[in-house]
Amino acid sequence: MDEKIIVTHVGALKAKYGASGWKQINAAVKALIAADKKRGLASKLVALDSPTAMKAYGGKAVTNSGEARQVKAAIDAIDAKTAPEYILILGAADVVPHVELNNPVFSTGDGDPDEFVPSDLPYACDAGYSKKIEDFLGPTRVVGRLPDIAGSKDPAYLIGLLKTAVAWKQGSRNDYVSYLGMTAAVWKGSTAMSLDRTFGSNTDLQLVPPKGPQWPVPFLSRRSHFINCHGAPSDPQFYGQQGSNYPVSHMASYINGKITEGTVCAAECCYGAELYNPTAANGQMGIGQTYLGSKAYAYFGSTTVAYGPADGNGSADLICQFFLRRILSGASSGRSALEARQQFAQSSPNLDPSDIKTIGQFILLGDPSVTPVASEAVKEVPQAKNVVYFALTEQVQRTERRQQLRARGKQILDTVSYAIRRPQAKPKPSLKKQLETLARKAGFTASGVLTFGIKQPAQKKALFGKAFAAKLLDPGEFHIVYGKTKEKHERVSSDVLIVARTIGGKVASVRQLYARSKRQ
């Protein structure tokens, strides 16, 4: 049985690195497969562009390495045939593309600038190819990506990541409870709450400014990193904020080689997991890829503009918390990402547009089978003389977990209600005036309003008896108010959204969200 499938486009790798480069990469992959076997994990490389390989799974070969629809179909065929417990995507987006999903909160002018959300979420879902994030709210698969460098001609970086995946070792929970918790000073309240919920304490929270970006070794060497700062497209730096001051908080060039092997990072920052071509940043790769190149085991981040409140928790805060908490509990990085997505999808009875974008934009960089923290459950299994029996016990546990996670993903699709954009709809004048007032109180002038209906799955009512189903409320509508802040800065994006839910034309709830981004 294939328990871990490594998928890539061999033709694309050969085009980048030549036959010699591919030979080196293939040797490193074989070393990973051998290391996995010693751990009791049956791994296999599948060339998505090989007709012979794909025929064995009842699928078609990918003829265009840039065509996400073909890649999605090929991975679906592999999953349908063998139901692997891990899917490892090998290569950056110029080898195995992200799926470009439609951003539900995109708007021209002063609104969200991302028309599309590059995502690996569809590869983690049973649903067929689509560009709608809402079709993928019930993920069922454990997926991660080991990216090479976009546009590179040297395979050394990717080979280095594969060597890290070969040599990884588990630590104890105590190795990961000390953290580097970094935040833009204006989001102190939100990040403190996140650290409390993740690590049980926020006493070591680092504010930027005044701290950073040349973090002392005692901070950088900690194996858990939680970062809530600004990010920007094709930018190898993160930024803090205090008023109109936006100092650098984290630099790829500085941290390179200073990260402790085995580090796990969750970054809320906009574009924090963007796999851009380093030529766009004077040859410097992004922070996420720098972490991996420094032998971090996992990096969980966003490919686009991400959102969260200043003082409470929501959106990017929550999904990053969920990921790190699962890591600390002894889950593999891939299972941690899947469970974080599932928990986030169930965190609200009605997912608003920013929630939908959040679940689509966060991806896992790293081998999904790597388990940084030793599970307490595994420790309780007796170390019998029969080593095969012990390995089988772990395998059975893993398979049963996958069955539960698949069932949970399907249940989410059957029960979650979510926002659906209504491009032609406009709020009534009285409601529009009320929403604009909310925007002014939040410190910005409204430039526009996006209106969304709320779709409830047909299966939802079927889960309840008639009496209870009759009590299900009219879900109402969501409205996104966007515009420019009073505080102006040439490198800062429109950073505030008001997300209001209305029922019967009246405002029932309001969320104020801030973009974790900066303009170039």
Over the chain (520 residues), the average pLDDT of each successive run of 10 is 94 98 98 96 98 97 96 98 97 98 91 95 98 97 98 98 98 97 97 98 97 94 97 96 92 96 98 98 97 98 96 96 98 98 95 97 98 73 52 79 93 92 90 90 87 85 67 81 65 70 91 76
Domain termination residue (choose one: 389, 416, 443): 416
Considering the domain architecture, whether residues 177 and 286 belong to the same structural domain is answered as yes
Q: Say if residue 385 is in the same domain as residue 441.
A: no
Residues 375 and 443 in one domain: no
Which of 396, 416, 436 lies at the terminal end of a domain, its last residue?
Answer: 416
Instruction: Measure CA 331 to chain center.
Output: 16
Q: In what order do the strands lie in the sheet with 444-455?
A: 307-308, 506-515, 496-503, 477-485, 444-455, 417-421, 350-351
Helical pair 156-167 and 10-38, crossing angle rounded to 10 deg: 20
CA angle (81 as vertex; 76, 83 as ends), nearest 5: 75
Point out the domain boundary residue: 379, 398, 416.
416
Is 520 among the domain residues? no
494 vs 246: CA distance, rounded Å = 15
Q: What angle do CA 400, 125, 138 make, to 5 degrees?
A: 80
* Residues 384 and 479 placed together within one structural domain of the fold: no
Specify whether 427 is located in the same domain as 479.
yes
Q: Which residues in 52-146 belong to E strands, given as ranges?
A: 86-90, 99-102, 116-119, 143-146
Are 383 and 434 contained in the same domain? no
Residue 352 CB contacts under 8 Å (≥ 6 apart), including other chains: 419, 452, 478, 499, 501, 511
Contact call for residues 32 and 43 (beta carbons, < 8 A)? yes
Run of H or E including 371: none
For residue 37, the tally of other CB atoms under 10 A from its CB is 11
Statement to judge: residues 41 and 87 lie in one domain:
yes
Hey, CA dihedral for 428, 430, 432, 435, is it positive or negative? negative
**Helix 316-328 to helix 353-361 angle, to the nearest 10 degrees?**
40
The pLDDT of residue 380 is: 46
- pLDDT at res. 171: 96
Separation between Cα atoms, residue 95 and residue 92, nearest integer Å: 6
196 and 270 belong to one structural domain: yes
| Assigned token pair, 295 | 């032998």
Quick one: pLDDT at residue 423? 87
DSSP 315-351: THHHHHHHHHHHHHTT--HHHHHHHHHHHHHTSSSEE
Does the CA dihedral 391-30-277-284 come out positive or negative? positive
Does residue 405 share a domain with residue 510?
A: no
Both 375 and 486 in one domain: the answer is: no
CA distance 332 to 368: 6
For residue 115, give its domain range.
1-416
Return the structure tokens found at 392: 């089988």
CB–CB of 514/269 below 8 Å?
Answer: no
Q: Residue 339 forms beta bridges with which residues?
A: none
Q: How far is CA 347 from CA 137, 336, 341, 418, 467, in A?
A: 12, 16, 10, 12, 25
> Do residues 412 and 423 share a domain?
no
The structural domain count of the chain equals 2
C-alpha torsion 100→227→356→120, nearest 10: 30
**Radius of gyration for the chain, computed over Cα atoms and rounded to the nearest angstrom:** 23
Report pLDDT for 110.
79
Those residues whose C-beta lies under 8 Å from the C-beta of residue 185, and which sit 6 or more positions away, are: 207, 208, 209, 240, 241, 242
| Residues 406 and 424 grouped into a single domain | no
Q: How is residue 72 written in tokens?
A: 């999605």
